[in-house]
Structure 1
Amino acid sequence: LDPAGILALDPEGIRALDAPRFAALVAALLRPHIAPAREPLLGDMAASVAAGVASRDPLLIVKGFRILFELLEAMKLDIANHQLQSMRAFLVDTAVDFEQRYFADRISRGKMQLDSTLLWLNRHCKAPALFEGFCTGVVALLELQAPFAQLPQTFQFDQARLSSIRADLHDLLSIQMILLLYRQLICPVTRPAHLDPAILSFKQEILVLIADDIAHSRIKWEKAIPCLALQMARKYAICKTGFCTFPDQHIITSVQSWLLTNLDRKQISPVHQLLQSRVLQYFSKTCLAAIRCNRHFTPISENDSLDSFVGLNDEIQVLARKISGVAVFHYKVMGKLYVRWCM
C-alpha cells in the first residue's frame, strides 16, 4: 500500500480508504483520456463502488473495480488501434518490402520448405504465360475440391483472406443453385415481368433462412435444406394459385432431394462444378487484368461478365475485387522469385 496516497484520499484522518471517493477520483482522472464511447463505463464503475459501500456488498465493489480494469485494458487497445490508424499509410507503403525481406530471409536460412510452392508453380505457372498461369493458380486455391491444408508456403500471410473468400464463394454458388432451381420452378407460372423481382425477393429469404451462428458452412447449409425446400414450395404455390395455400408435399420432397444432392460439399455435384468453373474463370480474367494494370481491381469487358448468373452479379463482383487485390499484392511480393523459379 501507499500510506501517503491513502492519507491524501482520507483528509479526515480515519486512516481508511474511501472507496467511493477513490472511484470518483479515478473516473475524473481517466475521463479526459478515454474515448467518448467508453465514458458511460466510468459512471458505471463509480456508481457500482458507491452502491457496494453503501449497502456493504463486496460483490458490487468488486464489480466496480472489475469494470475499471476492463476499461484500462480497453484503453490499451484503443491506443494501439489509434497508433495503427496513424501509421496506416506507412504500413501500406512498406508492406511489400517487409514481406519480401521476410520471405528472402526465411528462404536463405532454410527455415521455409518450398515443396508445395514449387509443386503449385509447376502445375500452373509456366513460361511464357506466367501471368495467366499465376492468376489461374491463385484462383484454383478457391476450389472446394482443393486441399486447403496444402496451401503453398508463400501464401501463409494470405491464408485467412483466401479462406474467407473461399467460404463466401461457395455460399454464393449454393445460393445460385437454389435460385436457378427456383427460377426453373416458377418460370412456367410467373409472368416474365415479375420473374426477376420474385427471384431477388427469394434471394433475401434465402439469406434469412441460412443465417446461423454456426461457422462451418457445410453444416449451415445442411440445417437449412428443409426450410429452403418448404419456402420454395410455398412460393411456388403462391405464384401458381395467386393466394397463400399449403404447398404440395410432392414439390417439397422433390426440391429437398435436389438440394441434398447439389448442396453436398463432400461430393461436388456437376451443377456446382459447372458454376464454380465459370466463376473461377471470370476471377482469373479479373486478376490478370488487375496485375497487368498494376491495380487491385480492373473491370473486364462486358463479354466476359456473368450476365447469366441470377441475382448475384454484384456479390460476385465484390469477390472478384477481393481476390484480385490478394493476387496483385502477392505478385508484387513474390513475382520476381516466381519468375526466377519458373525459368
Structure 2
Amino acid sequence: MDLQKTKEARRETPGKQEETTECSLESYPGKGHSKNSPKNDSLDHRDTDNAKDPINRNQRRPPSKFAYDGSLQIRPAPLSATSRASSSSFSKPMIDIPKALGLGSKEQKLLEVAKRCPPVTKSTLSELDLPCIMSNINLRMDANFDRDLHFKPDLDGEKGRRKRKEAADYWEAMAVEITIYAFCATHQITGVREDPLTDQQQSFEPRLPTMFETLQDVLKTLVPERDHPSVMQNLEVSLLMQQIQKGVLDMVGVANWLATLLKTHCAPMRDEWADRMVAQISTGSQSQDSFEVVRGLQTLFAILEAMKLDVANHQIRAFRVLLIEDTVPFLQEYFRGKMQKDNFRVESSRVWYLGLWERELQSMEKPTQSDSFWPLSVLFHGLSDFLLQFHSPDGFPETFVFDSDRLWQLRACLQNLINLDICWFIFESYIHTQKRYLSAPAQTYATFRSRIGSLMEANEECPRGAPRWLKNVRCIALEIARFACAACCGESMVSDSVIAPIEAALEWHLSNESGIFQFFQASLREKLLSATSASAKKYLNMSPLAICDSQRHHPQSSGSQQHHDIERISMRLAHMGVLHWKVWAPILRGCAALIGKDVRKLKAKGGVHEPCQLTFSRGSTQRSTQLNQRKPLYFPNVYALGL
C-alpha cells in the first residue's frame, strides 16, 4: 500500500498543481523539554514566554511522507422522505468505500458500527474537573478513609471489558479509514462514483473530523488559556481535512508540535510517552503503515487521559484537607435536601436503632445508670450484629448508604477471622487425637495463620455451598492436613486417612452455624466492641481530619497478629460510626417531623404494634423485610440523644 503519490502522478494532474500547494502547519512556539528534568509525579507547568523564536515562527515545515494527494470521494448521505421535505435538514457527508480496495466484510462492518468518537473525550473526562470532584459525595467519603485516594481508569469487570472492546474497534476502524484515504490519494480517485447504485453498506461516516475536534477540545482543557490560540490554529479541523483531501497534511509535523506542547505542560514522567507517540507516527508514515500511525494516535489520547488524571489527582491532594474537614456539614446539607424532597427515607434506620435501644435496655441490670457514650455504643452493637452474624445480611441501614462497601469489607475480614479460629480449632483437635503437643504454639499459630489466611481470602466473594467455595474449602483442608502431618511426624506426604476427617469437619463447621462458630463469634464480638468503644471515645472530640491522621500515626501493637487485625478493624468501624453519629444526630434532632410519625404520640400509645417495613440497601439493590413487633417498643428521649 502506497501512502504517497509519486511525482509522475503529480505531473499527470496539471490542472490541480495550484490546488495542491503545500500548506504546512505552524510550529508551536514553545521551548523543548530538557531531558535532564527530574522525573517525579508532580505537575510541571513550564514557562514558554522566553522560548519563542521569531526567526522560526513563520517557517514552513517540510512535507511529511505521510501525505495524501488527490481529492477524496465524498457524497452526502441519502435523505429520508421526511428529511427531503424539510429545507433545514442536513446530513453528514459519507465516504464511499472503493471496490478496488477489496475490503473484507469485517473491515466494512467496523466502519459501519464502530464508535464515531475516540475513547477519550471532553465528556468522558468531565468527571475529573474540579467542580465535579468537589461535589462528588462518594469521593468525599472515601477521602476520609483512604489517604492515598486517587483516580484511575475504570477497566475492571464487564463494563471495563466492554470499554476496551469498543476502543479496540474504534482504532481498528480508524486504521481502515486511513487506508482508504491513502488508497484514494494513490489511485487519484475523483469525485465521480464508480457505481451510481452504491448502497449504504458501501459507505461510512468519517471519524477523522470528529477525532480532530475531540483532540482540540481536550487539549484546551489541559493547557493554559494563553496556548488556546495555538491549539485552534494548528488543529483547525476544516483546514486539516482540506489538507488531507489535497494530500498535503504533514502528520509528522503535527505530531512533533503536539509532543512539544504536551511536554511543556505534562508531568516529566509523561515525556517518554510523547516521544513514543512521535516515533510511532513517524515510523508509520515512513513505512506507509496506517496501523502504526493509529498506534501513535492511541498513545496520544492515552497521554491526554493520563494528563487529566494527573491534574485531578493533584487537585485531590491539594484539597484533601478541605474535603475531609467539610465532610459533616456537606453530608448534612446533602441529606437534608434529599429528605425535604422526599428522596431519602430514614424511618427504617430509625426504627432499627430504636429496636436496638429497647434490646440493650432490657439486657441492662440498671437501665437508669448509663453514661453519655451509651447511645453511640448501641449503634456499634447493632453494626456488630450485621458484621458477625452467620448468614449474610440483606443490607445495611439506609443512613449508611455511602459506607456500605466499607462495611461489607469489614464483614468479610471478621468472617475470615472466625473461620480462621475454626480452622485452628480443627487443627489442634487433630493434634490432640494423635496425642501430640505443639512445642512452640505461638510460632506455629503465626505460620498457620499466614498459610491458611491467604487461602481464606479466596472465599470472600463466594457464597457458602457454591462449587467454587467447596473447592477452596477442600484446598484449605488439604493445607491443614499437610500442616498437621508436618507438626506430628515431620512428613510432607499426606494420606487420605488424614485428609478425610479434617475435610469433613471443616466443611461442616464452615457450612453451618454450629456451636463452635457461635463460640468464636461471641469471643470476637466482645473483643471488637471493647476495642471499637475505646477508639470511638477518643474520636468523638476530634475533627474528621484529626481522626484520619490519628489512624495514620497509630503505633503498632505488640500483641498477636489477631489482636492487630481486630484493632485495625475496630478503628475503621469506630471512624465510620463516629462520622455517622455526627452527621445524623443533628439532622434527626431538627427534622423529626420529616422522618415519620410523631415520637411523642407513639410514646403516648405505648409503642408500635404494627409491622414496620424496613428497607436496607446493598449497592444499587434494595430489599425489604417485614419486622413484626410482637411487643410494644419503648422509645427513649430521642431529642436528648439526637435520634
TM range (shorter): 0.7 to 0.9
Alignment of 1:55-134 (within 5 A): 55-125=287-357, 129-134=374-379
Alignment of 1:143-158 (within 5 A): 143-145=388-390, 148-158=393-403
Q: TM-score, normalised by structure 2?
A: 0.47
Which deviates more, 210-219 or 314-323? Answer: 210-219
Could you tell me how far apart the structure 1 residues matched to 2:271 and 2:519 are? 54
Match for 2:569 among 319, 322, 333?
A: 319
- Mapped pair 1:177 → 2:422: yes
Could you tell me how far apart the structure 1 residues matched to 2:327 and 2:272 are? 38
- Mapped pair 1:198 → 2:216: no
8 A Cα contact 1:206 1:228, kept in partner: yes
Q: Secondary structure at the match of 2:425?
A: helix
CA shift, 1:329, in A, is: 1.0
Q: Secondary structure at the match of 1:327?
A: helix
Which has the larger helix fraction?
Answer: 1
Partner of 2:407: 162
**Aligned Cα root-mean-square deviation (Å):** 3.2
Which deviates more, 144-153 or 157-166? Answer: 144-153
- Against the structure 1 CA distance between its residues 77 and 144, is the aligned structure 2 distance closer, same or farther, given a 3 Å change threshold? farther
In structure 1, stretches of 5+ residues that fail to align are 300-304
Q: Residue deviations 1:51-108, cap 9 Å, x none?
A: 2122211111111101211221122122112112111111111100111122222223
Could you tell me how far apart the structure 1 residues matched to 2:254 and 2:478 are? 61
- Mapped pair 1:239 → 2:487: yes
- Mapped pair 1:136 → 2:381: yes
- Mapped pair 1:12 → 2:12: no
Partner of 2:584: 334
8 A Cα contact 2:388 2:411, kept in partner: yes
Partner of 2:12: none
- Against the structure 1 CA distance between its residues 61 and 334, is the aligned structure 2 distance closer, same or farther, given a 3 Å change threshold? same
Aligned AA for 1:320?
S
CA shift, 1:325, in A, is: 0.8
Alignment of 1:286-297 (within 5 A): 286-293=531-538, 294=540, 296=547
Could you tell me how far apart the structure 2 residues matched to 1:72 and 1:214 are? 37
Tell me the percent identity: 24
Alignment of 1:244-263 (within 5 A): 244=492, 246-263=493-510
8 A Cα contact 1:52 1:61, kept in partner: yes
Which deviates more, 333-342 or 197-206? Answer: 333-342
Partner of 2:476: 228
Q: TM-score, normalised by structure 1?
A: 0.83
**Corresponding pairs, count:** 329
Q: Secondary structure at the match of 1:17?
A: coil
Q: Runs of 4 or more off by more than 6 Å in structure 1?
A: none
Q: Secondary structure at the match of 1:125?
A: helix
Partner of 2:176: none
Alignment of 1:203-222 (within 5 A): 203-210=449-456, 212=458, 215-216=461-462, 218=464, 221-222=469-470
- Mapped pair 1:270 → 2:515: yes
Q: Residue deviations 1:199-245, cap 9 Å, x none?
A: 2112222244356498446566433222222222222222222343x
Q: Residue deviations 1:126-165, cap 9 Å, x none?
A: 5864232122123223134466434221111111111111
Could you tell me how far apart the structure 2 residues matched to 1:123 and 1:156 are? 20
The higher radius of gyration belongs to: 2
Which deviates more, 207-216 or 72-81? Answer: 207-216
Could you tell me how far apart the structure 2 residues matched to 1:113 and 1:66 are? 47
- Against the structure 1 CA distance between its residues 256 and 52, is the aligned structure 2 distance closer, same or farther, given a 3 Å change threshold? same
- Against the structure 1 CA distance between its residues 157 and 140, is the aligned structure 2 distance closer, same or farther, given a 3 Å change threshold? same
Match for 2:276 among 31, 44, 48?
A: 44
Partner of 1:302: none
- Against the structure 1 CA distance between its residues 278 and 88, is the aligned structure 2 distance closer, same or farther, given a 3 Å change threshold? same
In structure 2, stretches of 5+ residues that fail to align are 1-20, 28-59, 65-242, 362-369, 552-556, 593-598, 600-635, 638-643
Q: Secondary structure at the match of 1:165?
A: helix
Which deviates more, 23-32 or 5-14? Answer: 5-14
8 A Cα contact 1:125 1:131, kept in partner: no
